[in-house]
Structure 1
Amino acid sequence: MKQRQLGATGPATSAIGLGCMGMSEFYGQTDDDAALRTLERALALGVSHFDTADTYGLGHNETLLGRFITAGGAARRQRVVLATKFGIVRKAGQYERRIDNSPAYIREACDASLRRLGVDHIDLYYCHRRDPAVPIEDVVGAMGELVQAGKVGAIGLSEVSADTLRRAHAVCPVAAVQSEYSLWSREPEAGMLATCAELGVAFVAYSPLGRAFLTGTVDVGQLADNDFRKHNPRFVGEAQAANQRLVAELTAFAAERGLSNAQVALAWLLNKHPHVVPIPGTRRILYLESNVGAVDIALTPDEIAQLDRLFNPQAVAGARYPEAGLVGIEGR
């Protein structure tokens, strides 16, 4: 697997990572045994970057990854770049959340994540969402103390503004910014990607396949009741129909080249930006293997421009989150 660097302070990692959230909640029925098999296959394919958070499954996702790492012993731990996050506080069965960025909470959350993961350090530790009441200097100051204590290797921020990144980076080097970025979520192009490149910070793109909508395989009418996409503005009503027309054009583009929609969407990210690391999530080995194949796909500048025009942000219908999901996102 090709490698990319997570900033000046982070490790080298596989050019494509694996987002693990869906293995625990938000996307219908889960299956721990199937998830563990997918994690095993990902590592065998050269994926080293595994992304989780303490809020995914209210700790379940970290515990699941801990099982995976422990099963492979010290040798596996050395191969895995483990990323997790703090900051979103929810109650069981609720999507609504509050944000906690207090230094005391950061220290407690880190220790709890270390226990669930069964490791002595976290390779990349993110502030998942921002509480504007807590100065970012205080947030990264507390995170920097975790680095000094050996509990964290490098720090990251998620869904922040370019100004927040600059302020944070001046206090403690930031290895990565993680935010949503895909053909149909282009907000980082307004300045964050350039700021990351200027500061030597990696950009980790979550939901690079538009929560699977861009793959052309999602039947919205068949989504499970506990699949949060049933309430996502882009997946419902007139917005869904408008976005489906965009995906049909993507399907045609991919078919002409003998590729899957997912491979095109991921290759678009990798070819546009050398400092971007997409972390598509999947629970299925078949999709995992297809996604990993995007690492070796070359798109021409003309093809990238064609995709840019097809997914002009003005053509995408609906907000990327319901209102509750926008809590803690800077600039929205």
Structure 2
Amino acid sequence: MTNTQIAVAQLGSTGPTVGRIGLGAMGMSGSYGPADSTESTATVHAALDSGARLVDTGDFYAMGHNEMLVGRAIADRPREETILSVKFGGMIGPDGTWQGFDGRPAALRNFLSYSLRRLGVDHVDIYRPARLDPAVPIEDTVGAIAELVDAGYVRYIGLSEVGAETLRRAAAVHPIADLQIEYSLFSRGIETAILPVCRELGIGITAYGVLSRGLLSDTAPGRSTEFAQSDYRAHSPRFQGDNLAANLELVDALAALAQRKGVSTAQLAIAWVLSRGDDIVPVIGSRTRARWSEALGALDVTLDDADIAAVEAAVPAEGVAGSRYAQAQMKALDSER
């Protein structure tokens, strides 16, 4: 039975109503180390039971494994209980390496066909290109998704990791429900140009990486952890050498504030993102029910102006060491140009 204790938010001026925080499913398919499918399914159920509604996945997460896991988890639930957000187009080689992005209209129609089958549904709620394809005008990609909206296979169009100019061009073709982009105390680049344009155009923000891949937590990985090569963090600049040492000092400063406030470090980090605006919905990559429960606790954390100033002094944007992706991936981000 659905428990609606989570406050709700609308994604932008044209998007669906979702819970104040959402669930990101990528980590349930091994991106951050082993995950238990039974516990993952239970976590999806816990998120839906709390009223989260938004569940985010991608067709290239573990080459379809994540979509199938999510599909099984929601199979016995009323379809309207879940707002499925699906990213498409990431090209992964058989060795697991990134091969670029395909945003061609013919390709995305094909990708959606496979996603619908793996998810076991007849429509996707929000469909979004995972990245901007430099070889395909964004107008062509969005226009093709708009045709799928007209056909009933997609309800809303979203974008991911694009910049302000691309947002304007896309919104001129079809209303955009939300932009999914990394936003946290450690990643605040959207504040300069992207967030203002989203607000001007009525586009919501679904923020991922809110806990900076686990760094912003009481159990920050890396202090005595060696990551498997399949773990994203093994290749993340922020988890390497001196960068990691510098970032852990910031985490310790945030943890001290959290302790004084009687909350966990992760809850304080999520609460800060929540405080940035009702149009920003954090998407939390919880892999267990315990972590999801902790994330829910952030909704009860109230931050006044003094709290926010203290948090931002403890974790100044210019103090974060290392880029959020490796150099090659950063170059592929339209949002970073």
Q: 305-314 or 50-59: which moved more? A: 305-314
Q: Find out whether 1:18 has 2:20 as its counterpart.
A: no
Tell me what 1:172 maps to. Answer: 174
Contact kept in structure 1, 2:254 and 2:315, CA below 8 Å: no
Tell me what 2:159 maps to. Answer: 157
Contact kept in structure 2, 1:9 and 1:174, CA below 8 Å: yes
Write out per-residue CA displacement over residues 91-134 of structure 1, whole angstroms, 9 at most, x where no aligned residue: 23413221101111111111111111111111111111011221
Tell me what 2:311 maps to. Answer: 307
Within 2, Cα distance between the matches of 1:154 and 1:331?
21
Tell me what 1:222 maps to. Answer: 225
Q: 85-94 or 251-260: which moved more? A: 85-94
CA shift, 1:84, in A, is 0.5
Within 2, Cα distance between the matches of 1:238 and 1:133?
37
> Gapped runs of 5+ residues in structure 2?
1-5
Tell me what 1:212 maps to. Answer: 214
Write out per-residue CA displacement over residues 3-49 of structure 1, whole angstroms, 9 at most, x where no aligned residue: 01012332100010011000012111122111111111111222211
Within 2, Cα distance between the matches of 1:9 and 1:109?
25
Other structure's SS at 1:172 match: coil
2:13 to 8, 12, 16: 8
CA shift, 1:263, in A, is 0.8
Contact kept in structure 2, 1:88 and 1:97, CA below 8 Å: yes
Tell me what 1:295 maps to. Answer: 299
Q: Find out whether 1:280 has 2:284 as its counterpart.
A: yes
Within 1, Cα distance between the matches of 2:244 and 2:182?
19
Q: Look up the equivalent residue of 1:139 and give its one-letter code.
A: T
Tell me what 2:61 maps to. Answer: 56
Q: Find out whether 1:33 has 2:33 as its counterpart.
A: no
Q: Look up the equivalent residue of 2:254 and give its one-letter code.
A: L
Which runs of structure 2 are paired with 1:1-332 in the superposition (5 Å)? 1-72=6-77, 75=78, 77-220=79-222, 221-225=224-228, 226-326=230-330, 328-332=332-336
Within 2, Cα distance between the matches of 1:197 and 1:331?
16
Q: Look up the equivalent residue of 1:185 and give its one-letter code.
A: S
Contact kept in structure 1, 2:14 and 2:202, CA below 8 Å: no
CA shift, 1:326, in A, is 2.9
Other structure's SS at 1:277 match: strand
Q: Look up the equivalent residue of 2:46 and give its one-letter code.
A: R
Contact kept in structure 1, 2:227 and 2:233, CA below 8 Å: no
Q: TM-score normalized by structure 1?
A: 0.96
Other structure's SS at 1:213 match: coil
Q: Look up the equivalent residue of 2:280 and give its one-letter code.
A: V
Calculate percent identity across the aligned residue pairs: 44
Q: 1:303 to 1:224 in 2, by over 3 A?
A: same
Other structure's SS at 1:52 match: strand
Q: Could you say what the CA RMSD is over the residues aligned between the two structures, in angstroms?
A: 1.3
Q: 1:153 to 1:327 in 2, by over 3 A?
A: farther
CA shift, 1:293, in A, is 1.4
CA shift, 1:327, in A, is 5.5
CA shift, 1:305, in A, is 2.2
> Following superposition, which runs of at least 4 residues in structure 1 exceed 4 angstroms of deviation?
none
Within 2, Cα distance between the matches of 1:209 and 1:243?
13
**Count of residue correspondences:** 329
Q: TM-score normalized by structure 2?
A: 0.94
Other structure's SS at 2:18 match: strand
Q: Look up the equivalent residue of 2:225 and give its one-letter code.
A: Q
